[in-house]
Chains A and B, each alone.
Chain A
Amino acid sequence: MVTARAFDTKISALYKAGKIFGGVFLGRGHEAIAAAEGVFLHKGQDVYAPFIREQAGRCAWGDSVLESARAYFGSASGLMRGRDGNVHWGNPAEGTPAPISHLGAGVAVVGGAMLAKRMKGQTGCVGLACVGDGTTSVGAFQEAANMIAVQKLPVVIVISNNQFAYSTPNSQEFACKSLTDRGIGYGYTVHECDGTDFLSTLQTMGQAIASARTGEGPQWVVANTLRMCGHGEHDDSCYIPQELKDAYADRDPLAVASRQLRELGWITEDEDAALAAECAEEVQRCVAQAQKEAPPAPASENWVATSWNPEHEEQ
C-alpha cells in the first residue's frame, strides 16, 4: 500500500511535469481493497486481474513497481514493450492477464482461466477479477458474472464501489439498493466491507478468497470507498461534492491502516516512517530505471499481429 501510494504520487508528479505520454490513473482510496486482494493470492497458482486502481494489489501480488513504471514510460524492456501502456499491462504467463480498456471484458477471461485449470485437474486455485461500480452496468460483465456462477468456478469478483464511474454517481448508475443484490441475483455468496477500513477489508477479502479456494463457489465482494482523486490525473473531480470529500478526510486507507497497526502494537511510528522512506526509495529507483531504458524503436518494429503466417510456414 505504501509503495503503491508512493508510486502514484511520483507518477502524478511526472504527469504534471509533462513526462508521461498518456493518461495517469491513481488508486487513492482503493489501496486497502487492492492490497487485501493481492496478499491472499498466490502467484504461479492463482489468477489475478487487476484493473486501473490496483497498484497496491499488484505490489501485494508480488509484481515490482518497475513493471508499472515501464508501462507508463513505454519502455522496450517492459512486458508491453511500448505497444500498450499506463495501467494496461499484465503478465499472462504468471497469472495476470493484460487488461483491455473495455470494462468488464476481463471478468470472463478470469472465468475461462479457472475453467481451464479445473479441466486440467488443478485444484485449490482462485481467480480474482477487479471491477468498479460502473462496470456492473456493462453487458460483458453481466454475461461473465452469470456464466462463472453457472459453471460454479472458484472466482472472486471484487467490486470496488468508489461511488463514481468517471463522473457518474451511483444514483445514475444503478437502481438496486446495493450492488450486493446483483451478486445474490447471479447466485454468488456475497460479502460487503468498508474498503477504507484496512483490517475489516483484510478480513472480508481473506474470507471470500478462502471460500472460493475451498470449493464453496463464486464469491462477490462489494468494497465501499471513495475515489480520492480524479478518474485520471487530467480530471479535477469537481463533480464529487465537497461534503463527501470532507466526510472521507480521515478515512484515507493508508492513514487508517497505519493507525490500526499502531493501535495493535504491530508497528511503531518510527517503523512506519522508515517503511515510507524505504518504499519511496524503491519507487525512485524503479522510476529512474524505467526512464533510462530504451524506448521502442519504430524502425525495427515488425508490425506483425499474429504468431503464425503462411510465409513462415513455407520456410
Chain B
Amino acid sequence: MAKLKARMPCEEMLPFTFGTVKLDETNLGVMTSVMALGEDAALSSALSDAHGVGFPKANRTLGNAGGPRCIWFGQRQAMLIGPAPDDRLQVYAALVDQSDGWCAVTVEGEDVEHVLERLVPVDLRRMHFKRGHTARTQLGHISASITRTGSQAFLILVFRSMAASLVHELSQAMRAVASRRGNG
C-alpha cells in the first residue's frame, strides 16, 4: 500500500501574528472520546488508575499540556488527550478514537480576550474563566471546544473540516483588534 503523508488540518495556514496575538496549530496526538456508560465515579477512578487523570466535572479540564489530559466535552463526555486509552476503560465508557477528527489551535497574547470576545458568546475573561476552565460553545457559527491554558492563552478545538473557517474567523478578529490598537 502506498505510504501516505500525515498532514495537519491547518498546514500552510499557520502560524501568524497580528498585533499582540499569535495563532498556531497544536498537535495533540492521540484523542479519544470518552462517553460514560454507567456511574461517572467508577469511570473517574478507572481513568485515574490507568492514566493519572480522572473524569472532569462539567466545564473543567484535568491534567496539563504534555501529560495526559482530560477535557470535558459535553453531557457525560470527555476527550482524553495524550495516551491511547487503556482497555480496562471499556467497561465504564464508550471509547472512540477521534485523533484525526479535530483541528486544534492555540491563540495567545495580550489582546487574546478581546479577539475571542468578538466571536464567542461566553464570558472568557480571566475573572470568570480561569486556567483549566473549558466551554463547549460557538466561535462565529462554528461549534467549538474552548479551554483556557494560561493567563493569555486558549486551546480551541473544532471539527477538522472547519479548520479553514476557524483560521479565517480568528484572523479577521485578530486584524480588527490589532488595527484598533494601531499596530495592525
Q: Are A and B subunits of one complex?
A: no
Which residues on B are within 8 Å of A, measured CB to CB? none
